[in-house]
């Protein structure tokens, strides 16, 4: 069974629907690639997926370890290459609230982030620069 159904809306815009939940995501081509840049670009979604996946897997580990990660935020920066046009680097910076955790737990969380399914699915040529501000 399909996971997502997407419709091309014209003007370099798509509307993707998550079939299980009905949630929709609009994409636009970025302004530097003939688009309006009024929504996430497809490559923005790839970069965001890396951060969200890492955060989700850390959340699973945190739940198991009784660590409350609520309030953690992260910023994602996508760097594009030109020949061919592609994502060459994704930078993710996690900012954690003050946590009462030990080095073992920090290592568990960091390893979870670095080995999330999206991280393992991306090309080895793509630089994944992940930072943890504890």
Q: Which two tokens stand for residue 130?
A: 């992940």
Tell me: do 94 and 123 sit in the same domain: yes
Please say whether the beta carbons of 69 and 83 come within 8 A.
Answer: no
Mean pLDDT of the chain: 97
Tell me: do 119 and 54 sit in the same domain: yes
pLDDT at 11: 96
pLDDT at 19: 98
Q: Three-class SS of residue 104?
A: helix
Tell me: do 21 and 64 sit in the same domain: no
Tell me: do 54 and 97 sit in the same domain: yes
Please give the Cα distance from 114 to 84 (Å, whole number): 26
Tell me: do 55 and 17 sit in the same domain: no
Whose tokens are 């290592």? That residue is: 107
Q: How confident is the model at residue 65 (pLDDT cuts 50, 70, 90)?
A: very high
The pLDDT tens digits of the residues spanning 76-103 come to 999 999 999 999 999 999 999 999 999 9
Tell me: do 56 and 121 sit in the same domain: yes
pTM: 0.94
In the chain, the number of structural domains is: 2
CATH number of the domain residue 100 falls in: 3.30.300.20
Tell me: do 49 and 99 sit in the same domain: yes
Tell me: do 13 and 61 sit in the same domain: no
Q: Are strands 127-133 and 85-95 parallel, antiparallel or unpaired?
A: parallel
pLDDT at 107: 98
Tell me: do 75 and 110 sit in the same domain: yes
Residue numbers of the domain that contains 120: 42-133
Tell me: do 28 and 46 sit in the same domain: no
How confident is the model over 57-69, as a mean pLDDT?
98
């Amino acid at each position: 069974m399909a996971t997502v159904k997407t419709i091309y809306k014209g003007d370099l815009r798509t509307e993707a629907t998550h079939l299980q939940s009905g949630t929709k995501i609009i994409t636009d081509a970025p302004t530097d690639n003939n688009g309006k840049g009024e929504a996430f670009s497809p490559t923005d979604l790839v970069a965001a997926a890396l951060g969200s996946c890492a955060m989700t897997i850390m959340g699973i580990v945190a739940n198991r370890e009784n660590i409350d990660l609520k309030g953690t935020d992260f910023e994602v920066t996508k760097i594009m290459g030109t020949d061919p046009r592609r994502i060459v680097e994704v930078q993710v910076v996690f900012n954690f609230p003050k946590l009462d955790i030990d080095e073992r737990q920090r290592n568990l969380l960091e390893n979870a982030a670095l080995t999330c399914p999206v991280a393992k699915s991306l090309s080895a040529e793509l630089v994944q620069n992940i930072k943890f501000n504890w």
